[in-house]
Structure 1
Amino acid sequence: MEMLDSPFFELSPIAMWLEDFSEVKKQFDLWRSQGVEDLLGFLQQDESRILECARKIKLLKVNSKTLELYQAKDFEHLYQNLDLIFKEDMSKTHIKELLALWNGETHFSNSAVNYTLTGERLDIQLKGIVLPQHEHDLSLLLITTENITSYIEACRLEEKSRHLAEARFTYSPTSLWVEDFSRIKIKLDQLRDLGIEDFSTFLDVHGDFINDCIKDIVMIDVNQATLELFGAPTKEVLFKNLHKVFAQEMIQTFREQLIELWNGNIHHQREAVNYALDGSIRHVLLQFTVFPDYLDNWGMVQVALTDITARKKAEKYLEYLGKHDVLTKLYNRSFYTTEINRLQRNRQRPVSCIFMDMNSLKAINDSLGHDAGDSVLQRIGNVLNQLVQQTPYSACRIGGDEFVVLLPGADEAALQNCLQSLEELLLVDNQFYSSQPILLSIGSATNQDGESMEDMLKRADMAMYQNKRNYYLTNNRRKPTLNNI
């Protein structure tokens, strides 16, 4: 009984309990004599047996740290209120102690929840030891209850933060990729060690280096938004089809990323082109960052992809509207003016042009309505678009019923071929719409030596108007003659 009187027991900074389990030992012996072998199963059959054993434990002594921890005035105060300390269901905790002692173990340890006498929750680490010379009857055990509430709360907070971070990743509306770039960093460091300074030129010479780096990327995880963006049912399916997602456009994008990383820009962004698994295009804003704890090896980086496909389509459509006439799908006057200035500046010669003006558009609008007039204009647009397709030529609507075809690089012979093609296309269209044929006044020209673009265009315009005057003077409804000056 030396432990009962030991000064070390009283002065210990950890709460200590001396307890007598001898009655528990007798209960064990009784159960064994009754044939019990599987104590765990036996106790789980009737959990009241656990509480029965707990009541057989005798509390002999506690130290002052125990009284302090549980806010008890003295031993008697503590002893009379043990039900407050152990008010939680102790079955799951106590069963571990019983199993350890049943199996002849002299040490046991587990975590539990206790309460102070004022109701404050305590997370404790409970450790027990059968003191020497008491193994045969378990009449003296030393129990310590270390307060680990702060530690457990920190663990709970950490787990909560981790779950929150995982939720933010998983359910973020932005496509997120977690990747391992450590092998790429090793490659770049090796190049620096070799004395490479002009990395851009190195990539120009060693194009295979980019492909090698792409192969070295290790995909760690993606979130749900990524699967939805690329139309993948699972992560496994996505990872098996990354070659479809990144395709050929990735080479240039990744080349630019490598240059950013070489220059020390571990946080950067750029626009890129990816593809969904069904082949549809995905324009994305790519934002790359190396996680703070991995700055030394790039072992974990995050790539965020924001879907800007709709924005790109809108921008493309606005750009189209800025250069095209919506009704005829031809280039508009703004494009025509810009193209004339471009041809004038680069002094490309020869240049030819064809001016056209539709006859009787007002009469059609007045008699049949503007929808009928628009329909004829659309037909002209279709004809001229067919005329210039797969050529460097451009067809423009520069007024309500005025059209111009610009033919850079076309000499007199090429111009005549184009006029012949135009006549054939008009013939086919008018045969199909015989009740409402397209009637055009046409003039054309090819620039002469030393002639300015402006003068050449004026000659073609004058030829067209002469043709138009002749048409109305003679009131000839047949297709007008193609004039060339």
Structure 2
Amino acid sequence: MDMLDSPFFEISPIAMWLEDYSEVKKQFDLWRNQGVQDLFAFLQQDQSRILDCARKIKILRVNAKTLELYQAKDLDQLCQNLELVFKADMTKTHIHELVALWNGETHFSHSAVNYTLTGKRLDIQLKGIVLPQHEQDLSLVLITTEDITAYTEACRLEEQSRHLAEARFDYSPTSLWVEDFSQIKIKLDQLRALGIEDFATFLDVHPDFVQECIKEMVIIDVNQATLDLFGASSKEVLFKNLHKVFAAEMVQTFREQLIELWKGNLHHQREAVNYAIDGSIRHVLLQFTVFPDYLQDWGIVQVALTDITARKKAENYLEYLGKHDVLTKLYNRAFYIAELNRLERNILRPVSCIFIDLNGLKQLNDSMGHDAGDSLLRRMGNILNQLIQHTPYSASRIGGDEFVVLLPGADEAALQNCLQSLHELLLVDNQFYANQPISLSIGHATNLEQERIEDMLKRADLEMYHQKKNYYQNHDRRS
């Protein structure tokens, strides 16, 4: 049955066109005789040749679906408005079917953009076939134009969503890591299969398991904020220096993460310590989440790192201020009282102490100003800080010119060694500041058996008081 007479043509649910390309074939023959070999390049040189070929095509018949799709009432209206159907996009797509026919192919297919007579855009999948017995003159070609607008629009929206998601990832101000934890999940599942229930105890007994899991973690991608946070010029540089970023602290952090995952907490957060490539510390708030579509295998997880370094520095400084005297860099009275309470509760004995008072500070302030007095206090702070460094002892400024050194675990011999070191440090300092030597009144004590810390302190304080009284009596006589 001839295609023109076939009932299937008319009732087809896909738009179908029967067209005559014989004039196009004659044009091809003419160009071949003129020596044209590469039709694609030839048509690209002058795209008006593409439109000339399109005008040579005769539309013999279209089916009802074609008229419906292009919103034409009949074939005549459709043919009279082809310039509306095939707009500027045609030169980009029609060239492919021309080249296919030029090369002797009897089938061609490509996507294209058409328009209805009312101007609505149509994304179509065009397929063509030269019907049998018409291969020599191309006088009968069947064209189908399937409407794929909905599919194309869905693809376009999907691509836009993907680009938006990529942009959110790339330009997020928060450091983002996309990682693969699937092998880690397999390891945890294997432990459950073996009957392990107390996972924390298992990790205590098998600490190497944490390292094994760290090795199974696969980093898929990081964003620009991650490179900025860790001072990496590129992803390649960052990945080569992960051993610097994840230093010793990572093992404990990752151990805690594994415990959370074992408990089923697939979304959790904690503070962690990382390092930039230059070695500077990065305090971060780590937020871990398994992506919804990967809850079964943990194939895609996201780790978000918020830089809280500045906050931690501020917190540490506030904590420092709460326990230290800013001028001398020694502990303050609040720390001293807390330390006394701790030592009183602690069973560690013996405990010794040294009470120190700066002689003549008030007179120095009155005669030379408080700057001179502050300088003397800073010197005293430096001496005591040197005295207690690398020891479990503490030195506190408990008043304007009063200082206390607490020596937990120090007996009388250790106390005397500390006093000797104090005098040596004082001697060196006074030699350097010979025009303004420091004079001290010192009291010391070691707690007796069953003696309260408070009573020991009173003995040392009383001894210091007597030294200070003698100092001022002698000083007044000399005056």
Q: TM-score range by the shorter chain?
A: over 0.9
Q: How far apart are 1:105 and its partner, in Å?
A: 1.1
How many angstroms apart in 2 are the aligned matches of 1:472 and 1:73? Answer: 120
Q: CA deviation at 1:198?
A: 1.5
So what's the TM-score if we normalise by structure 2? 0.97
Per the TM alignment, residue 280 of structure 1 is displaced from its structure 2 partner at its CA by 1.1
The residue that corresponds to 1:108 in the other structure is 108
How much has 1:477 moved relative to structure 2?
Answer: 10
Name the counterpart of 2:191: 191
Q: CA deviation at 1:435?
A: 1.2
1:38-187 correspondence runs (5 A): 38-187=38-187
- Structure 2 distance, partners of 1:30, 1:153, is 41
For 2:390 and 2:204, the matched residues in 1 are separated by: 32
Contact 1:273 1:283 (C-alpha < 8 Å) held by counterparts: yes
SS of corresponding position for 1:340: helix
| SS of equivalent residue, structure 1 residue 128 | strand
Q: State the Cα distance separating 1:5 from its structure 2 match.
A: 2.7
Matching of residue 418 in structure 1 with residue 418 in structure 2: yes
Structure 1 partner of 2:376: 376
- Residue 88 of structure 2 aligns to a residue whose secondary structure is coil
Match of 2:234 in 1: 234
Partner of 1:219: 219
For the 8 Å contact 2:61–2:75, the answer to whether it is kept is: yes
User: Structure 2 CA distance, aligned partners of 1:419 and 1:209?
Assistant: 50
SS at match of 2:296: coil
Deviations 1:281-325 (A, max 9, x none): 111111111111111111111111111111111111111111110
> Aligned partners of 2:63 and 2:305: how far apart in 1?
61
SS in 2 for 1:475: helix
2:344 is matched by which residue type in structure 1? Q
SS in 1 for 2:89: coil
Tell me which amino acid in the other structure corresponds to 1:262: W
**Conservation of the 8 A alpha-carbon contact between 2:89 and 2:113:** no
Q: Distance in 2 between matches of 1:408 and 1:452?
A: 13
| Cα separation, 2, equivalents of 1:282 and 1:474 | 57
Q: Is the partner of 2:119 in helix, strand or coil? A: coil
CA distance in 1, matches of 2:183, 2:412: 62
Query: 2:125 touches 2:146 (CA, 8 Å); kept in 1?
Result: yes
**Equivalent position of 2:268 in the other structure:** 268
Q: How does 1:330-369 map to 2 (within 5 A)?
A: 330-369=330-369
**Greater CA drift, 433-442 or 153-162:** 433-442
Task: Give the superposition deviation at 1:389.
Answer: 0.9
Measure, in 2, the Cα distance between the counterparts of 1:453 and 1:202.
Answer: 43
For 2:202 and 2:148, locate their aligned partners in 1 and report how far apart those are by CA, in whole Å.
58
Distance 1:273 1:451 in 2: 44
State how far apart, in whole Å, the 2-side matches of 1:406 and 1:57 are.
105
> Residue 294 of structure 1 aligns with which residue?
294
Offset at 1:224?
Answer: 0.7
Q: Deviations over 1:141-180 (max 9, x none)?
A: 1111111111111111100000000011111111111111
Q: What is the identity, as a one-letter code, of the residue corresponding to 1:4?
A: L
Distance in 1, Cα, partners of 2:279 & 2:19:
73
Match of 1:482 in 2: none
Please, what TM-score do these two structures have when normalized by structure 1?
Answer: 0.96
Q: Is the 8 A contact 2:125 2:147 kept in 1?
A: yes
Q: CA deviation at 1:476?
A: 6.7
Q: What is the DSSP-based 3-state SS (H/G/I as helix, E as strand, rest coil) of the residue aligned with 2:354?
A: strand
> Which residue identity lines up with residue 203 of structure 2 in the other structure?
L
Q: Residue 201 of structure 1 aligns with which residue?
A: 201
In the alignment, is the contact (CA less than 8 A) between 1:88 and 1:113 conserved in 2?
A: no
What is the identity, as a one-letter code, of the residue corresponding to 2:265?
A: N
Distance 1:282 1:407, change over 3 A: same
Q: Is the 8 A contact 2:184 2:213 kept in 1?
A: yes
The answer for the alignment partner of 1:397 in structure 2 is 397
**Partner SS state of residue 232, structure 1:** coil
Aligned AA (1:286) = L
CA contact (8 A) 1:287 1:305 kept: yes
Q: Does 1:16 align with 2:16?
A: yes
> 1:323-361, CA deviations, whole angstroms, 9 ceiling, x for partnerless residues?
110000000001100110111111322111111111221
State the SS of the aligned residue for 2:456.
helix
CA distance in 1, matches of 2:303, 2:62: 58
In structure 2, the residue matched to 1:252 is 252
Cα deviation code 1:377-431 (max 9, x no counterpart):
0000001111111111110000111110111111122212211111111111111
String of CA shifts for 1:78-124, please: whole Å, max 9, x gaps.
11111111122311101000011111111111111111111111111
In structure 2, the partner of 1:27 is 27
Offset from partner CA, 1:60-83 (integer Å, 9 cap, x none): 111111111111122111111111
Distance 1:377 1:477 in 2: 26
What SS class does the counterpart of residue 114 from structure 2 fall into? strand
User: Secondary structure at the residue paired with 2:18?
Assistant: strand
Query: Aligned with 2:169: secondary structure?
Result: helix
RMSD: 1.4
| Number of residue pairs the alignment of both structures matches | 478
Aligned to 1:243: 243
Q: Counterpart amino acid of 2:359?
A: N
CA deviation vs aligned residue, 1:168-205 (integer Å, no higher than 9, x gap): 11111111111111111111111111111111121112
Q: What percent of counterpart residues are identical?
A: 81
Q: For residues 203 and 459 of structure 2, what CA distance do their matches in structure 1 show?
A: 53
Amino acid at match of 2:15: A
Residue 457 of structure 1: CA displacement?
Answer: 0.7
Shift of the 477–133 alpha-carbon distance from structure 1 to 2, 3 Å rule, reads farther
Native 8 Å contact 2:430 2:436 kept in 1 = yes
The equivalent residue for 2:471 is: 471
Structure 1 CA distance for aligned equivalents of residues 291 and 231 of structure 2: 27
- Which residue does the alignment assign to 1:444? 444
Q: Which amino acid aligns with 1:75?
A: L
What are the superposed Cα offsets for residues 189-226 of structure 1, whole Å, 9 maximum, x if unpaired? 11111111111121112222111111111111111111
SS of aligned partner of 1:305: strand
Where structure 1 has 5 or more consecutive residues not aligned to the other structure, the ranges are 479-485
Cα distance in 2 for partners of 1:170, 1:65 equals 46
Contact 1:88–1:114, Cα closer than 8 Å, also in 2: no
For residue 395 of structure 1, give the secondary structure of its aligned residue in structure 2.
strand
The code of the aligned residue for 2:263 comes to N
> What one-letter code is carried by the residue in structure 1 that aligns with 2:107?
H
Helix, strand or coil at the partner of 1:225:
helix
SS at match of 2:445: strand
1:456 is aligned to 456
